Amino acid sequence: MDKAVEALGINLPQLIAQVANFFVLLVILRFTLYKPILKMLDERRQKIAEGLNAAETARAEASQAQANIQAQLDAARKDGQDIVANAQTIAQRIQTEAREQSARDREAALERARSEIQMERDRAIADLRGQFADITVTAAERVIRQSLDRQAHQRIIDETLAESSFNGN
């Protein structure tokens, strides 16, 4: 064993020195390599996660906005359709009203015309009746004044009629 140890050159001080070397290097690398790099890697991972989250949020927001816009568009279209429909209804009503009004007007005019005609006729009839009474009275006067026979009667009436302006008009 001793021979082997000597042949390989194993000695305690160097062994201890090398063990110490390892731990010194471990401490050095901890501060110059592992800590800063791990910190940086973690930081970057976190940043990326945040970025992805933000992107996700943005995408959700965008789709939300899209949906909003779509909903608004739909509402606007519906409003428009309603307005148009309303307008059509109103137009229809106006048209109907106008038509009814004109019908009523025409009816009224007709009625007025008819009543005027009636009045005109009544007045004409009354006129006629008056004139006819006058003529009758005149004819009666004449008949009474003259002695009457059948032929004389007829001649008087014919004369009276001929004298009156009532000549079948």
**Where do contacts with other proteins occur on this chain (CB under 8 A)?**
3, 6-11, 13-19, 21-26, 28-30, 32-34, 36-38, 40-41, 43-44, 47
Residues ≥6 apart with Cβ < 8 Å to 132: 166
Residue closer to other proteins by CB (options 47, 78) is 47
Give dist(CA 97, CA 25) in Å, integer: 104
| CA-based nearest residue to 145, from 154, 156, 136, 135 | 156
Q: How far is the CB of 58 from other proteins (least distance, A)?
A: 21
Q: How far is the CB of 46 from other proteins (least distance, A)?
A: 11
Using the minimum distance from each CB to other proteins, give the nearer residue, 16 or 137. Answer: 16
Q: Which is nearer to other proteins, 40 or 113 (CB)?
A: 40
Instruction: Please report how close the Cβ of residue 59 comes to other proteins at its closest, in angstroms.
Output: 23
| CA gap 167, 161 in Å, rounded | 7
Instruction: Return d(Cα 165, Cα 134) in angstroms, integer.
Output: 11
**103 within 8 A of 121, measured Cβ to Cβ:** no
Q: How far is the CB of 6 from other proteins (least distance, A)?
A: 8
User: Closer to other proteins at the Cβ: 11 or 115?
Assistant: 11
